[in-house]
């Protein structure tokens, strides 16, 4: 592809696949350290911002808020095989807030499902990397998402199938807090409790913002931790940018087998890591210009997320 600035080339050259396979391409579970996961999160953020800049279209704010959880999932937790994306016994991941596809595409590239360079065709005609994930075009996508509220229902269906087929795989889903204004989310939550889906782990990217402003102003969500708990989920709340908390929660809370689905409410910052994007609804779906892009990359390269 043609890169528009030397800085983009620098970002691309910075990427590297640091995979540790167990013969079949399955990630060596729990070998990646917290510090490595933090570094991966930086790389994912840089790639996602670069993709949106190259496309001059996309959703950077929510991609950046989700980056730390995505890093922990793809490089420590998910039992998947990049050489066999449809492996029957793989863990499933559903990005219900499908508009933040750039951060998932970045993870798929760094994880080895697709080439690093290919993701910079984001939103181009014929590209497998469309504005929302397409399971028929992009390896590693378990379900097409983007219509907010529907992805969690798909995740519940996958978890029911795994339960009834007596499979050991787990189903992870990420929903947005604004997405939780959709009624279908709560229907899916009721079903997950009814069918005792303790193989389902739901992350809420609680960045408090949506396209029209703060969720509290658009449609108050109240306390999501208490709401999930009231519906019958095992629920906890963490700092969604603390890799230590994310890893500890995945290693303990998320692995409990007690007949209850799990919810992890992650308090995050929309646009995390780029100062002028942080806590700004305007960056929900806006692409940076050249100067903004260069500043974003400079800030992201300046240090580990805190």
Neighbours of 121 (CB within 10 A): 18
Question: Locate tokens 């990646």: which residue?
Answer: 32
Question: Locate tokens 């799990």: which residue?
Answer: 262
Contacts of 165-168 with CB under 8 Å at 24 or more apart are 167/88, 167/89, 168/89
- Per the prediction, the chain carries an average pLDDT of 91
CATH number for position 119: 3.40.50.970
Predicted pLDDT of residue 209? 96
Predicted pLDDT of residue 23? 38
In a domain, 267, yes or no: yes
Is the confidence at residue 14, as pLDDT, over 80? Answer: no
Counting the structural domains of the chain, the total is: 1
Average pLDDT, integer, range 282-295:
97
In a domain, 14, yes or no: yes
Predicted pLDDT of residue 29? 52
Per-residue pLDDT tens digits for 95-128? 999 999 999 999 999 999 999 999 999 999 999 9
The span from the CA of 165 to the CA of 162, in Å, is 5
pTM: predicted TM-score of the whole model, two decimal places = 0.90
Confidence category of residue 174, pLDDT binned at 50, 70, 90: very high
Is the confidence at residue 5, as pLDDT, over 90? Answer: no
In a domain, 1, yes or no: no
In a domain, 283, yes or no: yes
Predicted pLDDT of residue 13? 32
Confidence category of residue 302, pLDDT binned at 50, 70, 90: confident
Average pLDDT, integer, range 20-37:
63
In a domain, 57, yes or no: yes
Give the C-alpha distances (Å, rounded to integers) separating 178 from 156, 215, 265: 19, 6, 13
In a domain, 305, yes or no: no
Give the C-alpha distances (Å, rounded to integers) separating 131 from 49, 145, 204, 217: 14, 10, 21, 27
Q: What percentage of the chain carries pLDDT values higher than 90?
A: 88
Question: Locate tokens 């795994």: which residue?
Answer: 162
What is the CA angle 52-41-9, rounded to 5? Answer: 50
In a domain, 230, yes or no: yes
Is the confidence at residue 306, as pLDDT, over 90? Answer: no
Predicted pLDDT of residue 120? 98
In a domain, 281, yes or no: yes
Boundaries of domain holding 62: 6-300
């Amino acid at each position: 592809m043609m890169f528009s600035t030397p800085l983009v080339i620098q970002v691309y050259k910075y990427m590297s696949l640091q995979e540790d396979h167990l013969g079949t391409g399955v990630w060596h579970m729990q070998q990646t350290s917290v510090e490595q996961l933090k570094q991966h999160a930086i790389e994912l953020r840089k790639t996602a911002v670069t993709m949106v800049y190259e496309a001059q279209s996309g959703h950077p704010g929510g991609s950046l808020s989700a980056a730390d959880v995505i890093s922990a999932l793809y490089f420590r937790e998910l039992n998947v095989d990049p050489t066999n994306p449809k492996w029957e016994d793989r863990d499933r991941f559903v990005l219900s807030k499908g508009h933040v596809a750039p951060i998932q595409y970045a993870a798929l590239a760094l994880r080895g499902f697709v080439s690093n360079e290919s993701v910079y065709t984001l939103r181009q005609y014929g590209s497998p990397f469309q504005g929302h994930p397409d399971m028929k075009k992009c390896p590693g996508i378990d379900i097409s998402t983007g219509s907010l509220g529907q992805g969690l229902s798909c995740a519940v269906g996958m978890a029911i199938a795994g339960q009834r087929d007596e499979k050991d795989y787990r189903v992870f889903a990420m929903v947005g807090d604004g997405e939780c204004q959709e009624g279908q989310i709560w229907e899916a939550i009721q079903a997950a409790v009814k069918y005792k889906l303790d193989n389902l782990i739901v992350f809420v990217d609680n960045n408090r913002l949506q396209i029209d402003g703060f969720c509290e102003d658009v449609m108050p969500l109240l306390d999501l931790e208490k709401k999930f708990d009231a519906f019958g989920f095992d629920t906890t709340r963490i700092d969604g940018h603390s890799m230590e908390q994310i890893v500890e929660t995945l290693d303990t809370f998320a692995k409990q087998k007690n007949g209850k689905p799990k919810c992890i409410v992650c308090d995050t910052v929309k646009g995390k890591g780029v100062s002028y994007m942080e806590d700004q609804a305007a960056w929900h779906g806006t692409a940076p210009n050249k100067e903004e892009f260069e500043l974003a990359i400079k800030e992201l390269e300046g240090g580990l997320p805190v």
